Structure 1
Amino acid sequence: MIQFETTRLIMRNFSIDDVNDFYEYMSLECTAQYESFEPFTYDECIASVTRRCERDNVFAVVLKESGKMIGDINFSIEEYDTYELGYDFNPTYCKKGYATEACKAVIDYIFKERSGRRIYAECDDDNFPSIRLLERIGFRREGYFIEDVTFKKDGAGNPIYVNSYSYAMLKREWTSDK
């Protein structure tokens, strides 16, 4: 079991008890807006949380004060000690600094405990909250990709392509006081 803490948060492995909190934000259109999935049904949340319980690269983000799970952060390991970072947060808890605090803790964990060398994240060019978060925690914009990917289709079944930014940070650039 992996668990680490910040001043206000606990990042830990998922538990099946997280299903209701997970459903609270994963069932929302605004959560799925910039993702490859549609809003989750309750059954899809049960299946997803069950899978997440078996993984050590995805963390539930929990408020210390109440035990409420307010989001999740995941990473994937790629070649050359490079990691991709991803996250989803309950919009009810946005604009309180929780995503910043949680991401900084996970970045610290990747660089210090997992010997990561580079972390990157990608986001749609109109996902302003994610852009602001990545820049606030010290990621630098490395690329802009036109009609980079498609996750969804329009009413006629045609793919909707999105433009995206790529952000990254090297271990030597990281200071946790950002």
Structure 2
Amino acid sequence: MIKLQTDRLILRNFLETDIDDFYEYMSLESTAKYEGFEPLSYEESIYFVNRKIPLDNEIAVILKENGKMIGDVNFSEAGEKGTYEIGYDFNEKFWSRGYATEACIAMLNYIFNEVGGRRVFAQCNDDNFASIRLLERLGMRREGYFIEDVSLKKDSNGDPIYVNSYLYAILKKERY
């Protein structure tokens, strides 16, 4: 079980009671825009929350002031031992308030200091300016630019729509 606290947030494992808050932002086009899924239905939200409940790498982000779940962060080991990828989704009603930065800093600290991470990276579409700014605020450096490297959506004919993406990373010794 994970339970981390920041000044304004609690980061913890998912609970069944998170379904409504999860659905609130995962059903939005703004959340799905840069992801490999369309806005989720309520039934899909139930399915995904139930899959996340037992996992220690899928973390709900909760406002301390009222207990509302406003987003989630996740991490997974990728490639070389000690290398982790992070990801996140936040409810657009809570954008531009520093919550994602606060939650991701807590997650980076956890990965580097508790999990034994040496390197953490993240990828984002080259036109996802909010995500680019977040990754740079976290002290991550842009390491790569990939042209049409991934397809997360399909066009009306069912053909893949390829996007360009950036790779950002940070080493433990650089900041933590």
Normalised by the length of structure 2, the TM-score is: 0.98
CA distance in 1, matches of 2:50, 2:160: 31
1:61-89 Cα shifts (integer Å, max 9, x gaps): 00000000000000011232100000000
1:1-178 residue pairs with structure 2 within 5 A?
Answer: 1-78=1-78, 79-175=80-176
The amino acid that maps onto 1:62 is I
CA distance in 2, matches of 1:174, 1:12: 24
The amino acid that maps onto 1:5 is Q
Alpha-carbon distance, 1:54 to partner: 1.1
Q: Which runs of 4+ in 1 moved over 2 A?
A: none
CA distance in 2, matches of 1:56, 1:157: 35
Alpha-carbon distance, 1:18 to partner: 0.1
Alpha-carbon distance, 1:55 to partner: 0.3
CA distance in 2, matches of 1:169, 1:124: 18
CA distance in 2, matches of 1:48, 1:159: 24
Secondary structure in 1 aligned to 2:55?
A: coil
The amino acid that maps onto 2:103 is A
Alpha-carbon distance, 1:93 to partner: 0.4
Secondary structure in 2 aligned to 1:106?
A: helix
CA distance in 2, matches of 1:9, 1:163: 32
Alpha-carbon distance, 1:139 to partner: 0.3
Structure 1's unaligned 5+ residue stretches are: none
Normalised by the length of structure 1, the TM-score is: 0.97
Matched residues, number = 175
CA distance in 2, matches of 1:13, 1:111: 19
Secondary structure in 1 aligned to 2:89?
A: strand
CA distance in 1, matches of 2:122, 2:85: 6
Greater shift, 19-28 or 151-160, is seen at 151-160
Structure 2's unaligned 5+ residue stretches are: none
The amino acid that maps onto 2:121 is Y
Percent of pairs with identical residues: 63
CA distance in 1, matches of 2:62, 2:9: 6
CA distance in 1, matches of 2:2, 2:156: 43
